[in-house]
Amino acid sequence: MKLNPQQQQAIHYLGGPLFVLAGAGSGKTRVITEKIAYLITQAGYLPHTIAAITFTNKAAKEMQERIATMLNKKQTQGLTVCTFHSLGMKILREEAEHCGLKKNFSILDATDSAKIIGELMDSTGRDAIFTTQHQISLWKNSLLTPEQARQTAHDKWQQQTAQIYAAYQETLQNYQAVDFDDLIRLPTLLLRDNSAIRHKWQLRLRYLLVDECQDTNTCQYALMRLLTGAEGMFTAVGDDDQSIYAWRGANMENLRLLQSDYPQLKVIKLEQNYRSTARILKVANQVIANNPKLFPKTLWSHYGQGDKIRVVACQHEQHEAEWVANEIQRQKMIGGDKVRYADFAILYRGNHQARTFEEALRTLRIPYQLSGGQSFFDKAEIKDILAYIRLVANPEDDPAFLRAATTPKRGIGDTTLGKLNAYAQQHHCSLFTAAQSMNALASLASKNRDSLMQFTNMMLHYRQRATSERAGDWITHLLNEIGYEAHLQHSEEGKASEIKWRNVQELAEWLTRKGDEDHKNIIEIAQTIALMTLLEGKNEDDIDAVKMSTLHASKGLEYPTVFLVGCEEGLFPHNDSIEEGHLDEERRLMYVGITRAKQQLALTYCKKRKRQGNWHFPEPSRFIDEMPQEDLHILGRKDGNPIVSKAEGRSHLSGLSAMLAAKSKKMNS
């Protein structure tokens, strides 16, 4: 497809700092990749002096793939296309000693850091740990030290949290470890405070391209500024109307700062949309017009007017889910092979809404894929139990050993594991092998030694039983022996332990069923699970299934037909956001949801919804009232058209099936 004049201008502009205001579906990824190709082939930039920074690995991978089709390997040698975190890690690896770190420092994930914070708090309450962890993350992203956090604390809780932050940083230093936030924070502080290193990296990276600039936090924006210097040779791409991540530290103010920090900033608007019909864009433009504008723009399209947007009033959640599932099945049946399940997306405000839709889709045997929510195999309690199964299947699996040995707690602490790790490294063996070595055991205190020996003996015993025992019996015995239900009751607050234990029971039932149906022992099933978890990482685009996603996770994606569900006051916009004065961000979230749709868009809401066992009667979302009413087709409301009943729907579907069967018979005769 030919580039439009604005896209061409953005690609060719090299007169200084540039901000490309890229509306939804305006081809921003193409502009970035084409600009990289232009810099290398026409503007004389060497590939290793260019860095394109994205927010997700998926976006970075997509860019790399596109560039690979435009340029050969030699032309892209040394080119950096990565996330902010990856770039930070690259700088940190090279400059580790200047940050008080050894070259092979460890990187902790969110679970690891939560564990340390929980121990410092002397708490096991998941919500309390998460809130503390989140606050520390926000401070880090705002470049505040523990001391600065303490000085600016608003209340007693923040003061206490600032103390935990100080102790947490000390622990990380002792461990020679960093967390995800440090991957950007430490390089930023280093470049800020050390002019020689700053100059070195400015010379190395001569041109910067930053994607989704509206999503940068204070720290990321500071890193971008330090790398580009006064000259400001960069292209930042973003859209203030799609800024939806304030809750994780994104600061839309950065777009305003661009203008004051770089007075010579050039702004180019991409307003032509290559995704949606004119009507979908008209609805999106009118909703977002209710927000204050940093950079005014109006999206437009050559794709024709398109269908009216359906607004469907449903009786309750089950009715809502059934209507969506029936509608998908109806359209699939009418469209036949031309319509894929992957053409449909169900988008919702919160993950808790997904379950009802899952049930409705399963009932009609419609394949679906969850994204933006946690996979079953990613849940902490499931990973705990799978660690035991993995260790039995492969005693060389060190991460599985660490998890199984310490969950539930059994007197194997950091000191024991540290000594074990040192022995394993020295003797080039696994932790499980080290734990069975008399020399390694001799270095431990008797109490710790006994705990470790009990654990390894138990695992050897279960490994022995694994090949001869029914998978269901094996897992039942293991759960009883390690006392996992009691562990959950002790470590989780309120209903969380019940929910987690239910998930573990679900896993046990699945293992039992799998073992009996496929005549497999627990080790053989472990291989199946490994394959399943690998498949979960398969490119989502390759799977023909209805996509179910939170609105936050849907950003950057597009679908021919979108169902935007739960459009009710209190749910969307969310009560918390209304109370905290974040209505503008909720409206931007609605804008993002609308602009995911290419051809068809339906919004649903419930007349009544159950919350904590009681019926509530919500008002339809105020965002529906903000839409041009002449472009809406209202269904199920007193003043609208009736929704086809369930019985009528079934009759309609069976009629369609009969028609299609007759057609097929005629063709074959």
CB 585 within 8 A of CB 268: no
In single-letter form, the type of residue at position 656 comes to L
User: What angle, 0 to 180 degrees and rounded to 10, lies between the N-to-C axes of helices 471-482 and 496-518?
Assistant: 150
**Residue that has been written with the tokens 């003043």 in this structure:** 639
Local structure of 209: helix, strand or coil: strand
- Catalytic choice (310, 587, 588, 596): 596
28 is catalytic: yes
CB 245 within 8 A of CB 275: no
- Catalytic choice (34, 179, 182, 211): 211
User: What angle, 0 to 180 degrees and rounded to 10, lies between the N-to-C axes of helices 380-393 and 522-536?
Assistant: 130
CA 573 to chain centre: 21
Question: What are 512's two structure tokens?
Answer: 């039992």
- Catalytic choice (28, 140, 279, 514): 28
DSSP 8-state class, residue 178: E
- Catalytic choice (6, 161, 242, 416): 242
CB 421 within 8 A of CB 176: no
Question: What are 122's two structure tokens?
Answer: 């002397």
**Residue that has been written with the tokens 């009943």 in this structure:** 645
The CA-based diameter of the chain, rounded to the nearest angstrom, is 84
Local structure of 613: helix, strand or coil: coil
- Catalytic choice (9, 29, 272, 533): 29
Rounded Cα–Cα distance for residues 406 and 58 (Å):
33
Q: Buried b / exposed e across 602-620, counting CB within 10 Å, b at 16+?
A: bbbbbbebeeeeeeeebeb
Question: What are 99's two structure tokens?
Answer: 């940050």
- Catalytic choice (95, 181, 212, 322): 212
596 is catalytic: yes
212 is catalytic: yes
Report how far apart, in Å, the C-alpha atoms of 576 and of each of 64, 506, 586, 604 are: 39, 33, 10, 21
Rounded Cα–Cα distance for residues 385 and 478 (Å):
9
Residues tagged active-site: 28-29, 211-212, 242, 596
